[in-house]
Amino acid sequence: MESFNAATPKNIAVIGNYLPRRCGIATFTTDLTEALVTAFPDATLRVVAMNDIAEGYAYPSRVARTIPQQDRAAYGATATWLNDEGVDLVLVQHEYGIFGGSAGDYLLDLLRAVRAPIVTTCHTVLRQPDAEQRRTLTEIARLSSQIVVMSRLGVELLQSVYGITAEKIMLIHHGIPDVPLGGGAEAKAALGLTGRDRNGYPRAAVGGGRAPASHVSGRRGDAPACEGARGRALSGGSGGAR
């Protein structure tokens, strides 16, 4: 494991899923990469994308190399390629399910062989990992210069469950891309909702009209489904603890 100066990377590699793969990690990795291009305009930045299907995906040119998830030899070969390319910082987007082996431990072959400093972002921190999951994440932390999580609970679990020191952990909240705020009328027109209320029903032609009773929000029968959906949305998620 090598130390690094985050202010001076010149040759950065990002490892994770990448668009157009339909996956939250892919979206996050793509957004992160675009932000890095802006933050380090003089650096060379390339992506190593994880493939879960044999035919791969129609990646943009920024994806310089791919790793078939279950091809163990490809992990070591990629480490050799990163070393040959002179990469000076490796950013890993970690989720157990996107890497091959037991609890994603094929990734360790790459991390052990690459010479550049490694910063790993943990998108899931398990409260009750099994032995293999604990071993894999503990070893990833040992090989990484820094471990990034997106919640205070994640910080606490890395210390209490995995024994990772506070000095190695960095909390960076998830954030979202900066999207320009548009007008409501334009958005409704684009979605074909002009002249409809917020529930999607046509507004009454004359004043005093109301949506059918069965569609009035706040009915007792509607509450459990709404709360259930909200609960599912708030549980887990990128950077969450499970």
HEC string for 69-131: CCCHHHHHHHHHHHHHCCCCEEEEEECHHHCCCHHHCHHHHHHHHCCCCEEEEECEECCCCCH
Asked whether 119 and 90 are in contact (CB, 8 A), the reply is yes
Sorted by where each starts, the structural domains of the chain and their CATH numbers stand as: 11-177 (3.40.50.2000), 192-232 (no CATH)
Residue 229: pLDDT band with limits 50, 70, 90: very low
Q: Which pLDDT belongs to residue 217?
A: 39
Q: What percent of the chain has pLDDT over 70?
A: 79
Q: List the end-to-end C-alpha distance of the chain, in Å, as a whole number.
A: 28
pLDDT tops 50 at residue 222: no
Q: At CA 82, angle to CA 81 and CA 87, rounded to 5? A: 145
- Cβ-Cβ contacts under 8 Å for 201 (sequence gap 6 or more): 211, 212, 215
Asked whether 94 and 122 are in contact (CB, 8 A), the reply is yes
Q: Which pLDDT belongs to residue 225?
A: 31
Question: Mean pLDDT over residues 211-217, rounded?
Answer: 43
* Average pLDDT in the chain: 84
Q: Which pLDDT belongs to residue 235?
A: 31
pLDDT tops 70 at residue 215: no
Q: Which pLDDT belongs to residue 242?
A: 60
List strands edge to edge, sheet with 44-51. Answer: 63-68, 44-51, 11-16, 89-94, 118-122, 146-149, 169-171
Residue 204: pLDDT band with limits 50, 70, 90: low
Specify the pTM: 0.74
Q: Which pLDDT belongs to residue 213?
A: 45
